[in-house]
Structure 1
Amino acid sequence: MRCLVPSVTRWSSEYHAIVKLIRLSDDQLNDICDRLSVSKLHPQEITFLKEYTTILQPLCYSIDLLQGEKNCFFGFIVPTIISLKAKLAEKMTQTQFSSQILAAVIKAIDTRFEKVFSSHEARVAASTIPKFRLWWLADVEREEMKRQMIQEASLINSAGPSVGAHSTTANASKGPDLLEDDDSFFTFETAVTTSTTVEEEVHRYLQDSEKSLVSLKMYPTVKALFIKYNTTLPSIAPVERLFSQGGLVFTLHRNRMTDKHFEMSLLLRYNRLYLTVD
């Protein structure tokens, strides 16, 4: 078995290393200690390490999830943290040695993500992901969040017709004969109808049970909201991986590449899984 080496820049690496060792039997652990000429683990130490991996498994899962590059968006942060706090609180009564560790983790989460919990952008981003919608919110908060979504969707929807309005104004400047009638100029009823359509779309989206992102094709305004608020990455890990890939491309033997050539080579290497060959 190859042991994992913990890294100071990734807390989860230490967790995974301990998990791999704890999966060994007591006889295997004792045999390893004998071969390495180190003191054998005390039964209480083994019990502590097993408890450590059990209670912190949700935290490790959350970190790995938010550092992922596939199917992870800005809207994942708030639901993930809320679910993480609930799971850690459940384990508080199951601990023998680690209650202080759990308390410290929960306090750190509240301190670190206090602004994110109240962030309008983060809440809208989560609500526009079909996997979550408003299920992660308390019942008393759902109506308010629904109202905010309708308001945001109406703003996005009104941005489209405003472009057409400039076109209508330009045509009108060519002469009054280009206007079909007076009713085509006054569009108050049209605006109300558009607002109602947006409201109905948001209601249909929130009542839908489909959890895949493909379902957003049925709700174009909600999809536009999703793109607007979920473009931001939840973690810098994908960016760091991109820098690591750059180090593999820009080597001593290829240090005379132009910036454009380097960028093309890097993107081809990084996106090779998405390339299709005709």
Structure 2
Amino acid sequence: EDENDDTEEDGLSFVTINASEEEVSEGAIILPPHVELDYLAEYCKILRPIAVAIDRLQGQISCYYAILVGFEKRFSSYLELKTDVNEAILATVTHPFFKMRWLPPRLSGDRRRIHQLMLHSAGDLGLVAESEKTSSDLQDDEEDDFFVFSAEETQVQERQEITSHSKAELETLRFLEDTRKDLISLQ
């Protein structure tokens, strides 16, 4: 006989299916392969501590202040967006699903700093891409520089820096304003 029993163990729900061997052999009930069952069992085993921790943090009865203090102490730099977690901030901002949507209203003043951080990182990446020129490209640039006088040379360099900064800024603004949440928005 088919029976779905919901059992509760440590706040977690499990569903069990009781079926006779006859029903399984007749094809009335199709069981997943053992590999899939083993995978699901391992998945539940690995995620169990996380599920229990979330249940405890969300619990209204058994959530103690000591648990929250430890959590706040460990993750305070992340919660306050301090400069030592800039890599984590950049990882979140550059993910198409999150962008700046994750920023809580109380930290909305940090939007400008995060945007500047993103621009600075984009500039760093641009410099890395420019430094990967081949030796023949560098030699051609040196030959062209022979005809450029010093005053004009600095103006050309300044225009190139402004252009590259403007391109990086436009590209990051375009990315942040894009409402799409999928990876296609990165193209």
Higher relative contact order (CA 8 A, sep 6+): 1
> d(CA) in 2 for partners of 1:152 and 1:158?
10
The partner residue of 1:140 within 98, 101, 109 is 109
* Structure 1 match to 2:127: 158
Letter matched to residue 113 of structure 2: E
Q: Secondary structure of 2:12's partner?
A: helix
> C-alpha deviations, 1:200-237, integer Å up to 9, x for none?
011111111111123112xxxxxxxxxxxxxxxxxxxx
Provide Cα deviations, 1:68-87, integer angstroms capped at 9, x if missing partner: xxxxxxxxxxxxxxxx8xxx
Instruction: Name the counterpart of 1:113.
Output: 75
Counterparts in 2 of 1:8-157, with a 5 A limit? Answer: 17-20=10-13, 60=51, 95=60, 97-100=61-64, 103-117=65-79, 118=82, 119-137=85-103, 138-157=107-126
User: What's the % identity of the aligned pairs?
Assistant: 20
- Which whole-Å deviations, capped at 9, do the CAs of 1:159-208 have from their partners, x for residues lacking one? 212223854433356xx4x6695389643312211110110011111111
What is the letter of the counterpart of residue 122 of structure 1? A
Note the alpha carbon deviations across 1:25-50, whole angstroms, 9 max, x for none: xxxxxxxxxxxxxxxxxxxxxxxxxx
Following the alignment from structure 1 to structure 2, what is the Cα–Cα distance between the partners of residues 143 and 211?
22
**What residue identity is the alignment partner of 2:51?**
C
Match of 2:36 in 1: none
Deviation of the 1:105 alpha carbon: 3.1
- Larger strand proportion, structure 1 or 2? 2
Post-superposition offset of 1:104? 3.2
Q: TM-score scaled by structure 1?
A: 0.41
8 Å Cα contact 1:3/1:17 also seen in 2: no
Q: Aligned pair in 2 of structure 1 residues 180, 122: CA closer, same or farther (>3 Å)? A: same
* Other structure's SS at 1:151 match: helix
Aligned partners of 1:189, 1:166: CA distance in 2, in Å?
24
| Aligned residue pair count | 139
Aligned to 2:38: none
3-state SS, counterpart of residue 101 of structure 2: coil
| SS of equivalent to 1:20 | strand
One-letter identity of the residue aligned with 1:157: G
TM-score, normalised relative to structure 2: 0.57
Q: Which amino acid aligns with 1:129?
A: H
Q: Which has the larger radius of gyration?
A: 2
Give the alignment's Cα RMSD to 1 decimal.
3.9
Any gaps of 5 or more consecutive residues in structure 1? Answer: 5-14, 25-58, 64-83, 218-278
Residue 132 of structure 2 corresponds to residue 170 of structure 1: no
Amino acid aligned to 2:117: Q
Distance 2:9 2:182 in 1: 30
1:208 aligned residue (174, 178, 181):
178
1:189 paired with 2:159, answer yes
